Amino acid sequence: MSAAAGAGARAPKLEVRKAHRLELLLTLRRAREELGRWPTAGEWDLATTSHVSRRTYVRTFGSWQRACRTAARLKL
């Protein structure tokens, strides 16, 4: 059965991960627009009721700083 699925079965997962990463980056960009600067990790932790936790960004991008740098480079 798994052979029938082939490599195409992985594509939806990859697309879901890409969409999740993009959503995280756009949320971070919106916070930057509101603050006029990148939020600190501590500020993000204090405001976690309205968005995902900082730890999600660290797991996804490797560090808070890398998430901010990646969001800064995002071409819209």
pLDDT 10s digit of each residue in the chain, 76 long? 445 555 556 678 999 999 999 999 999 999 999 999 999 999 998 886 778 999 999 999 999 999 999 999 998 7
Reference 74, options 16, 32, 13, 36; nearest CA is: 32
In the chain, where the domains are located: 9-73
> Quick one: pLDDT at residue 53?
92
> Quick one: pLDDT at residue 4?
53
User: What is the H or E stretch that residue 67 is in?
Assistant: helix 64-73
Handedness of CA 61, 71, 76, 33 (dihedral sign): positive
> Quick one: pLDDT at residue 39?
95
Distance of CA 44 to the CA centre of its chain: 13
> Quick one: pLDDT at residue 1?
44
